[in-house]
Amino acid sequence: MLCLFAYCNDANSSLNVGYLTCGDFKMSYILSMETLEILTKKHENILLVDKPKGITSYDVIRKLKKKYGKLKLGHAQKLKLGHAGTLDPLATGLLIVGVGKGTKRMAEFLKLPKTYEVEILLGVRTDTGDLEGKCLQVESVNIDDVDGERVRKVLEEMVGKIELSVPVYSAIKQKGVPLYKRARRGEHVMPPKKKMEIRRILLREIRREEDKTILDVVMDVGSGTYVRSIAEEVGKCLGVPATVKELRRTKVGDFDVKGAKRLTNI
């Protein structure tokens, strides 16, 4: 069956209308000129998005589908979209989105190493491992009592493959059910341990925000590594509770957030 694809540029519109014809089967969809440029010139069927704080990774997909993904096929359908590597609602940064055939490549991107910029809050422990959760423990941690050399030594000793407990609020399944679902039901959850890989982890700054002490850290990690687990482990090694305050993903393999578009600009 012959399949043809062509663009029709409407001189009176900032939109491009594409038609995909396979025999008697015809579909049309609308994408903005800017989105088409991103998809066709820079990355083949891949869209790099700088996810904002406060929404889920699937919210990004939902917004893109709502704006660009309606097909005219007798009834409304949605353009096939998917993402590689979930970012928590609290997190910002690079989210790789597959468009059409690009969705088939998402599995390979999941295997790539990732770079994160992390703010670790000392003196607080939550049930989620970040500030979205319920506070379980609070201690006063004076910045003057936090020795930079000791922190660097702790971080250096964590480089490599390390076995850590996964966050209770995660998609890891136990008895066939995601942990977060069991936790939300109020069940007692014993999170399993998992091997995680820390390729590089560096302390950039120790600073004070009001009465809180923050570790500003950058890390390169392997696939399947939970930054929230690392943050809590750093706290344990320092003898204080700890949780993720801010998290930003800046790289996935060779893809850099510098080349990503803000969701509002797509």
Query: Could you give the CA distance from residue 158 to residue 200 in angstroms, rounded to a whole number?
Result: 9
Instruction: Assess contact for 53 and 90: CB atoms under 8 A.
Output: yes
What does each C-alpha distance from 167 to 125, 126, 238 come to in angstroms? 12, 10, 19
DSSP state of 90: T
Q: Architecture of domain 37-111 in CATH?
A: 2-Layer Sandwich (3.30)
Q: What percent of the chain has pLDDT over 70?
A: 80
Query: Could you give the CA distance from residue 123 to residue 111 in angstroms, rounded to a whole number?
Result: 33
Instruction: Assess contact for 34 and 266: CB atoms under 8 A.
Output: yes
Same fold, 37-111 and 114-252: yes
For the ranges 67-71, 175-179, 193-197, 228-232, which has the lowest average pLDDT? 67-71
Q: At what angle do helices 227-238 and 148-158 cross, to 10 degrees?
A: 130
In the prediction, which pLDDT does 44 show? 67
What does each C-alpha distance from 203 to 145, 156, 225, 249 come to in angstroms? 16, 10, 19, 16
pLDDT digits (tens, 9 = 90+) for 45-61: 889 999 999 999 999 99
Regarding predicted confidence, which is higher, 36 or 129? 129
Of 43, 40, 42, 19, the C-alpha closest to 30 is: 19
Query: Could you give the CA distance from residue 95 to residue 251 in angstroms, rounded to a whole number?
Result: 9
**Of 50, 88, 130, 220, which residue is the catalytic one?**
88
In the prediction, which pLDDT does 70 show? 59
Instruction: Assess contact for 179 and 155: CB atoms under 8 A.
Output: no
Band (pLDDT 50/70/90 cuts) for residue 71 is very low
**Residue 88 annotated among the catalytic residues of the structure:** yes
Q: How many residues does the chain have?
A: 266
**Host H or E run for residue 229:** helix 227-238
Domain ranges of the chain: 37-111, 114-252
DSSP state of 234: H
Secondary-structure class of domain 114-252 per CATH: alpha beta
Regarding predicted confidence, which is higher, 196 or 16? 196
Band (pLDDT 50/70/90 cuts) for residue 218 is very high
Mean pLDDT throughout 218-242?
97
Question: Would the pLDDT of 213 be above 50?
Answer: yes
Band (pLDDT 50/70/90 cuts) for residue 69 is low
